[in-house]
Amino acid sequence: MSALGIITTNKARCRDCYRCVRVCPVKAIRISEGQAQVDPARCLACGTCVRECPQKAKQVRCDLAPVQDMIAAGRNVIASIAPSYVAAFPDYGGGLFPAVLSKLGFWMVTETAVGAEMVARETARLVREEPQPHVASACPALVN
């Protein structure tokens, strides 16, 4: 995950019950300065801590405002959507969801497979040009 992380802790809500520490399947939550903090380098963003926190102190980061700001500023913002979007938005199948995103101001709307193909090509180039073990980003696998 990024340095910012997907899961954040609302320090004002955290009551140090440590439930999130106990339920995290990859032990990505540590106590720091008396509060449970998510280690973004280890977090899988599975949401277990968010679901289990009785105080609702664990929250999923929301990037809606920065995206809206970029669109309002005229930046070329691309939406990358998985083909499985129809499972989450069944009323927007048949190309309707990408059309709605375009109408909202996205410069381009593509399937995630397009970005994955670009990443795969770049990974193959790196493996060819730099013969050392690499970690593939699309799947946490070592390429040796």
Residue 1 has a pLDDT of 35
Q: Does pLDDT of 2 surpass 70?
A: no
In whole angstroms, what separates CA 51 from the centre of its chain? 17
Enclosing H/E stretch for 35: strand 35-38
pTM over 0.75: no
Question: What would the two tokens of residue 131 be?
Answer: 């013969």
Please write the tens of the pLDDT for every residue from 75-115.
Answer: 999 999 998 888 888 898 888 999 999 999 999 999 999 98
Residue position matching structure tokens 């509060």: 35
Distance between CA 59 and CA 14 in Å, rounded?
11
Q: Which residues contact 140 (CB under 8 A, 6 or more apart)?
A: none
Please write the tens of the pLDDT for every residue from 24-70.
Answer: 999 999 998 888 999 998 998 899 999 999 999 999 999 999 999 99
Distance between CA 60 and CA 63 in Å, rounded?
10
Please write the tens of the pLDDT for every residue from 110-141.
Answer: 999 998 888 889 888 988 998 887 776 665 55
The domain 7-60 is classified under which CATH number: 3.40.630.190, 3.40.50.11900, 3.60.15.10, 3.30.70.20?
Answer: 3.30.70.20
Domains of the chain, residue spans: 7-60, 63-144
Residue 23 has a pLDDT of 96
Q: Does pLDDT of 144 surpass 80?
A: no
